[in-house]
Amino acid sequence: MNVEIICPLYNAESYIENLDKSLKMQENVKIQKISYILTESKDNTRNLLNKISASYEVIRKEEFSHSLSRENVAMKSNADILVFITQDVDIQDKNWLNNLIKPIETGESVASFSRQLTKYDNIEKYTREKNYPDKSYVVSKEDIENMGLRAFFFSDASSAIKTEIFKRLNGYDGKTLPTNEDQYIAYKIINNGYKIKYCADSVVYHSHKFTLKQLYKRYYDTGLFFAQEKYMDKYQTNKTGGGLAVYILKRAIQDKNFKVLLRFLPDMAVRFFGMKVGKIYGK
Protein backbone atom coordinates (compact mmCIF):
# COMPACT_ATOMS: atom_id res chain seq x y z
CA MET A 1 0.00 0.00 0.00
CA ASN A 2 1.20 3.51 -0.72
CA VAL A 3 1.14 6.35 1.76
CA GLU A 4 0.51 10.09 1.83
CA ILE A 5 1.95 11.89 4.83
CA ILE A 6 0.07 15.05 5.87
CA CYS A 7 1.70 17.54 8.21
CA PRO A 8 0.44 21.01 9.24
CA LEU A 9 3.18 23.62 9.79
CA TYR A 10 3.37 26.94 11.60
CA ASN A 11 6.62 28.80 12.35
CA ALA A 12 8.37 25.49 11.75
CA GLU A 13 11.84 26.60 10.64
CA SER A 14 13.51 24.83 13.56
CA TYR A 15 11.80 21.53 12.66
CA ILE A 16 11.25 21.22 8.94
CA GLU A 17 14.63 20.13 7.55
CA ASN A 18 15.25 17.38 10.11
CA LEU A 19 11.63 16.28 9.94
CA ASP A 20 11.68 15.99 6.16
CA LYS A 21 14.94 14.01 6.29
CA SER A 22 13.49 11.62 8.86
CA LEU A 23 10.47 10.97 6.63
CA LYS A 24 12.57 10.33 3.55
CA MET A 25 14.85 7.88 5.39
CA GLN A 26 11.95 5.49 6.11
CA GLU A 27 12.49 1.95 4.83
CA ASN A 28 10.19 -0.75 3.40
CA VAL A 29 7.37 1.70 2.64
CA LYS A 30 5.95 3.38 -0.47
CA ILE A 31 5.62 7.09 0.28
CA GLN A 32 3.57 8.49 -2.57
CA LYS A 33 3.58 12.07 -1.30
CA ILE A 34 4.51 14.24 1.67
CA SER A 35 2.01 17.10 1.90
CA TYR A 36 2.75 20.08 4.13
CA ILE A 37 0.07 22.59 5.09
CA LEU A 38 1.77 25.86 5.96
CA THR A 39 -0.18 28.40 7.95
CA GLU A 40 1.26 31.82 7.09
CA SER A 41 4.37 32.16 9.26
CA LYS A 42 6.67 35.00 10.28
CA ASP A 43 9.79 32.86 10.10
CA ASN A 44 11.79 31.18 7.34
CA THR A 45 9.65 28.03 6.94
CA ARG A 46 8.50 28.77 3.40
CA ASN A 47 12.03 29.37 2.12
CA LEU A 48 13.18 26.12 3.70
CA LEU A 49 10.29 24.23 2.08
CA ASN A 50 11.37 25.62 -1.28
CA LYS A 51 14.97 24.67 -0.53
CA ILE A 52 14.07 21.01 0.00
CA SER A 53 11.62 21.05 -2.96
CA ALA A 54 8.72 20.12 -0.68
CA SER A 55 5.09 19.84 -1.76
CA TYR A 56 3.06 22.35 0.26
CA GLU A 57 0.16 24.74 0.25
CA VAL A 58 -0.14 27.99 2.18
CA ILE A 59 -3.26 28.99 4.11
CA ARG A 60 -4.05 32.15 6.06
CA LYS A 61 -3.96 32.03 9.84
CA GLU A 62 -7.71 32.52 10.11
CA GLU A 63 -8.26 29.55 7.78
CA PHE A 64 -6.40 27.05 9.97
CA SER A 65 -8.37 24.36 11.77
CA HIS A 66 -6.91 21.24 13.36
CA SER A 67 -9.65 19.21 11.71
CA LEU A 68 -10.60 21.01 8.50
CA SER A 69 -7.06 21.80 7.33
CA ARG A 70 -6.14 18.12 7.52
CA GLU A 71 -9.44 17.02 6.02
CA ASN A 72 -9.14 19.29 2.97
CA VAL A 73 -5.90 17.56 1.96
CA ALA A 74 -6.94 14.05 2.98
CA MET A 75 -10.15 14.07 0.94
CA LYS A 76 -8.16 14.79 -2.24
CA SER A 77 -5.67 11.97 -1.62
CA ASN A 78 -5.55 8.86 -3.81
CA ALA A 79 -3.04 7.07 -1.57
CA ASP A 80 -4.06 3.86 0.17
CA ILE A 81 -3.13 5.10 3.63
CA LEU A 82 -3.17 8.58 5.18
CA VAL A 83 -0.48 9.30 7.76
CA PHE A 84 -0.92 12.35 9.98
CA ILE A 85 2.00 13.84 11.90
CA THR A 86 2.79 17.12 13.64
CA GLN A 87 5.82 19.30 12.98
CA ASP A 88 7.38 18.75 16.41
CA VAL A 89 7.74 14.97 16.37
CA ASP A 90 11.30 13.66 16.35
CA ILE A 91 11.54 10.45 14.32
CA GLN A 92 14.76 8.49 14.79
CA ASP A 93 13.78 4.97 13.69
CA LYS A 94 13.89 4.05 9.99
CA ASN A 95 11.08 1.56 10.63
CA TRP A 96 8.74 4.01 12.37
CA LEU A 97 6.43 4.28 9.35
CA ASN A 98 6.57 0.61 8.36
CA ASN A 99 5.62 -0.43 11.89
CA LEU A 100 2.84 2.17 11.97
CA ILE A 101 1.09 1.10 8.77
CA LYS A 102 1.69 -2.66 9.07
CA PRO A 103 -1.60 -3.44 10.91
CA ILE A 104 -3.53 -1.57 8.20
CA GLU A 105 -1.75 -3.46 5.43
CA THR A 106 -2.46 -6.82 7.09
CA GLY A 107 -6.09 -5.96 7.88
CA GLU A 108 -5.59 -6.15 11.64
CA SER A 109 -7.04 -2.63 11.96
CA VAL A 110 -8.07 0.32 9.78
CA ALA A 111 -6.17 2.87 11.85
CA SER A 112 -3.10 2.97 14.06
CA PHE A 113 -1.01 5.32 16.16
CA SER A 114 2.53 5.44 17.47
CA ARG A 115 4.14 5.30 20.85
CA GLN A 116 5.27 8.73 22.07
CA LEU A 117 8.25 9.34 24.33
CA THR A 118 9.54 12.60 25.76
CA LYS A 119 13.11 13.80 26.20
CA TYR A 120 12.28 15.75 29.35
CA ASP A 121 12.14 14.67 32.98
CA ASN A 122 8.92 16.57 33.69
CA ILE A 123 5.26 15.69 34.20
CA GLU A 124 5.02 14.77 30.54
CA LYS A 125 7.41 11.87 31.23
CA TYR A 126 4.73 10.23 33.37
CA THR A 127 1.77 11.10 31.14
CA ARG A 128 3.64 9.47 28.27
CA GLU A 129 4.32 6.36 30.38
CA LYS A 130 0.64 6.07 31.25
CA ASN A 131 -0.79 6.86 27.83
CA TYR A 132 1.82 5.12 25.68
CA PRO A 133 2.81 1.77 27.25
CA ASP A 134 5.51 -0.53 25.89
CA LYS A 135 3.04 -3.17 24.69
CA SER A 136 0.82 -2.87 21.61
CA TYR A 137 -2.95 -3.41 21.78
CA VAL A 138 -6.02 -3.32 19.53
CA VAL A 139 -9.27 -1.55 20.43
CA SER A 140 -12.72 -2.38 19.08
CA LYS A 141 -16.32 -1.48 19.92
CA GLU A 142 -16.43 -4.33 22.43
CA ASP A 143 -13.80 -2.55 24.56
CA ILE A 144 -15.80 0.64 25.16
CA GLU A 145 -17.59 -0.71 28.25
CA ASN A 146 -14.32 -1.52 30.03
CA MET A 147 -12.12 1.28 28.69
CA GLY A 148 -14.58 4.17 28.58
CA LEU A 149 -13.03 7.31 27.08
CA ARG A 150 -9.68 5.51 26.72
CA ALA A 151 -11.20 3.47 23.89
CA PHE A 152 -11.01 6.60 21.74
CA PHE A 153 -7.47 7.59 22.69
CA PHE A 154 -5.70 8.31 19.41
CA SER A 155 -3.03 10.87 18.59
CA ASP A 156 -2.41 12.39 15.18
CA ALA A 157 1.03 13.53 16.28
CA SER A 158 1.76 10.20 14.56
CA SER A 159 -1.15 8.18 13.24
CA ALA A 160 -2.40 6.36 10.16
CA ILE A 161 -5.85 5.72 8.70
CA LYS A 162 -6.92 3.71 5.68
CA THR A 163 -7.95 6.36 3.15
CA GLU A 164 -11.05 4.48 2.07
CA ILE A 165 -12.32 4.42 5.66
CA PHE A 166 -11.47 8.07 6.31
CA LYS A 167 -13.54 9.08 3.29
CA ARG A 168 -16.35 6.60 4.01
CA LEU A 169 -16.74 8.11 7.49
CA ASN A 170 -16.61 11.63 6.00
CA GLY A 171 -13.44 12.54 7.91
CA TYR A 172 -14.13 15.23 10.50
CA ASP A 173 -17.50 16.05 8.94
CA GLY A 174 -16.30 19.47 7.80
CA LYS A 175 -16.13 20.69 11.39
CA THR A 176 -13.66 23.29 12.66
CA LEU A 177 -12.73 21.52 15.87
CA PRO A 178 -10.63 23.50 18.42
CA THR A 179 -8.60 20.37 19.25
CA ASN A 180 -9.09 16.60 19.77
CA GLU A 181 -9.82 16.01 16.10
CA ASP A 182 -7.96 12.71 16.49
CA GLN A 183 -10.27 11.60 19.28
CA TYR A 184 -13.26 12.66 17.18
CA ILE A 185 -12.28 10.40 14.26
CA ALA A 186 -11.33 7.56 16.64
CA TYR A 187 -14.85 7.68 18.13
CA LYS A 188 -16.31 7.32 14.64
CA ILE A 189 -13.94 4.50 13.67
CA ILE A 190 -14.65 2.44 16.78
CA ASN A 191 -18.41 3.01 16.84
CA ASN A 192 -18.69 2.02 13.19
CA GLY A 193 -17.31 -1.41 13.99
CA TYR A 194 -13.68 -0.91 12.92
CA LYS A 195 -10.50 -1.43 14.94
CA ILE A 196 -7.59 0.81 15.95
CA LYS A 197 -4.16 -0.51 16.87
CA TYR A 198 -1.69 1.15 19.21
CA CYS A 199 1.75 0.30 17.82
CA ALA A 200 4.35 0.29 20.59
CA ASP A 201 7.07 -0.56 18.06
CA SER A 202 6.41 2.64 16.07
CA VAL A 203 8.16 5.25 18.21
CA VAL A 204 8.43 9.04 18.02
CA TYR A 205 9.76 11.59 20.48
CA HIS A 206 7.21 14.31 21.18
CA SER A 207 8.45 16.67 23.89
CA HIS A 208 7.06 19.83 25.47
CA LYS A 209 7.81 22.20 28.32
CA PHE A 210 4.47 23.95 28.74
CA THR A 211 4.07 27.01 30.92
CA LEU A 212 0.97 27.00 33.13
CA LYS A 213 -0.58 29.55 30.79
CA GLN A 214 0.01 27.32 27.77
CA LEU A 215 -1.33 24.31 29.64
CA TYR A 216 -4.47 26.21 30.63
CA LYS A 217 -5.09 27.12 26.97
CA ARG A 218 -4.71 23.49 25.87
CA TYR A 219 -7.22 22.26 28.44
CA TYR A 220 -9.55 25.19 27.79
CA ASP A 221 -9.63 24.13 24.12
CA THR A 222 -10.24 20.54 25.21
CA GLY A 223 -13.17 21.77 27.31
CA LEU A 224 -14.54 23.57 24.26
CA PHE A 225 -14.32 20.32 22.32
CA PHE A 226 -16.28 18.37 24.94
CA ALA A 227 -18.88 21.15 25.09
CA GLN A 228 -19.21 21.00 21.31
CA GLU A 229 -19.31 17.20 21.20
CA LYS A 230 -21.46 16.59 24.30
CA TYR A 231 -21.94 12.88 23.63
CA MET A 232 -18.22 12.37 24.40
CA ASP A 233 -18.56 13.68 27.94
CA LYS A 234 -20.65 10.72 29.05
CA TYR A 235 -17.47 8.65 29.17
CA GLN A 236 -16.38 10.25 32.48
CA THR A 237 -13.61 12.63 31.45
CA ASN A 238 -13.02 13.59 35.09
CA LYS A 239 -12.46 9.96 36.08
CA THR A 240 -9.94 9.53 33.26
CA GLY A 241 -8.07 12.68 34.30
CA GLY A 242 -8.15 11.66 37.97
CA GLY A 243 -6.57 8.30 37.20
CA LEU A 244 -3.77 10.02 35.30
CA ALA A 245 -3.13 12.44 38.18
CA VAL A 246 -2.82 9.58 40.68
CA TYR A 247 -0.36 7.78 38.38
CA ILE A 248 1.81 10.90 37.96
CA LEU A 249 1.97 11.52 41.70
CA LYS A 250 2.79 7.89 42.48
CA ARG A 251 5.59 7.71 39.89
CA ALA A 252 7.09 11.06 40.87
CA ILE A 253 7.28 9.91 44.50
CA GLN A 254 8.90 6.63 43.42
CA ASP A 255 11.51 8.53 41.40
CA LYS A 256 11.95 11.22 44.08
CA ASN A 257 11.35 13.70 41.28
CA PHE A 258 11.05 16.83 43.42
CA LYS A 259 10.75 19.13 40.39
CA VAL A 260 7.61 17.29 39.33
CA LEU A 261 6.24 17.14 42.88
CA LEU A 262 6.56 20.92 43.23
CA ARG A 263 4.80 21.43 39.91
CA PHE A 264 2.12 18.79 40.51
CA LEU A 265 -0.61 20.80 42.30
CA PRO A 266 -0.55 23.94 40.12
CA ASP A 267 -0.29 21.78 37.00
CA MET A 268 -3.31 19.63 37.91
CA ALA A 269 -5.30 22.70 39.00
CA VAL A 270 -4.66 24.44 35.68
CA ARG A 271 -5.74 21.35 33.75
CA PHE A 272 -8.92 21.00 35.83
CA PHE A 273 -10.00 24.65 35.67
CA GLY A 274 -9.03 25.01 32.01
CA MET A 275 -11.27 22.07 31.13
CA LYS A 276 -14.13 23.37 33.33
CA VAL A 277 -14.04 26.89 31.94
CA GLY A 278 -13.80 25.61 28.37
CA LYS A 279 -16.90 23.46 28.88
CA ILE A 280 -18.79 26.43 30.34
CA TYR A 281 -17.91 28.87 27.57
CA GLY A 282 -18.41 26.23 24.91
CA LYS A 283 -22.07 25.68 25.76
Say how far apart CA 94 and CA 173 lie, in whole Å. Answer: 34
- The confidence score (pLDDT) of residue 196 equals 98
Residues, the chain:
283
- The confidence score (pLDDT) of residue 233 equals 78
* CA 152 vs CA 7, 22, 24, 131, 144: distances in Å: 22, 28, 30, 12, 8
The overall average pLDDT reported for the chain is 95
Rounded average pLDDT over 215-230: 94
More confident residue, 41 or 2: 2
Query: pLDDT tens digits for 133-154?
Result: 999 999 999 999 999 999 999 9
Taking Cα atoms as reference points, which of 198, 202, 241, 211 lies closest to residue 122? 211
Whether residue 235 contacts residue 187, with contact meaning beta carbons closer than 8 Å, is answered with: no
pLDDT at 1 > cutoff 60? yes
- The confidence score (pLDDT) of residue 212 equals 97
- The confidence score (pLDDT) of residue 153 equals 96
Confidence of residue 111 (pLDDT cuts 50, 70, 90): very high
Structural domains of the chain, with CATH = 2-205 (3.90.550.10), 212-281 (no CATH)
Strand 158-162 relative to strand 81-85: parallel, antiparallel, unpaired? Answer: antiparallel
Rounded average pLDDT over 189-212: 97
pLDDT at 181 > cutoff 80? yes
- The confidence score (pLDDT) of residue 282 equals 76
